[in-house]
Amino acid sequence: MSDHNTDKGLSGAMQRYRNGYLVAGAILILGGILAIVFPFISTLATAIFVGWVLIMSGLVEVAHALSVRGAPAVVLNLLAGLLSLGVGTLILFDPLAGALSLTLLLGGFLAADGIIRILSAAQMSQRPGQGWVIVNGVSSLALAAALLWLLPDASLYVLGILLGIDLIVAGGTLFLLGKVAKVIEDVVARKGEL
């Protein structure tokens, strides 16, 4: 009897949130498609967003450093906050240069990630999955090389395309959760009929 009540509670919760998952998922998917269709605009928006995030975090760090005068490393915290403020301001004044910097950073990250994965695969010594780790590392290196090869043009669209892909994946996940909620709801309803 308590299992049946638990199932009904789950069914009710799923029913309440299912439509929200479906709507939010559809909106994110649409946003992702728009980001991919208009990569230059979404790249600029991403750079501007990062600029504002750096400014806000810099303000918080500076305020914190000033409020805890005398604490260890307060000067370093103050400098980190001022650096965030400076970089964020530079990105906002020239979002295209900010997009180029972020694309360079992404290329560097992919190169480092590829090297680390290949080195890690080398330590796996004939274990299952070693080949896939090598493929992952090589693909990261190839992406980094392509990205850096296509600079500066790539900086005008890469971030927007990546943002679009991320939004589509996030939206697809929410949409699928909504669909799964409907399946669970149907199973619980059938179980209640038995």
Residue whose entry in the numeric block shows the structure tokens 């490393």: 73
Q: For the chain, how many structural domains are there in total?
A: 1
74 found inside a domain: no
16-32 pLDDT, tens per residue?
A: 777 888 888 899 999 99
Give the pLDDT mean for 148-156: 86
73 found inside a domain: no
173 found inside a domain: yes
Instruction: Decide if pLDDT at 160 tops 50.
Output: yes
Instruction: Decide if pLDDT at 1 tops 80.
Output: no
Domain holding 179, by residue range, is 2-47+95-193
Locate 71 and state its tokens: 């604490």
169 found inside a domain: yes
176 found inside a domain: yes
Burial classification of residue 24, based on how many CB atoms lie within 10 Å of its CB (0-12 exposed, 13-18 middle, 19 or more buried): middle
d(C-alpha 93, C-alpha 153), whole Å: 20
Residue 157 CB neighbours (<10 A) = 19
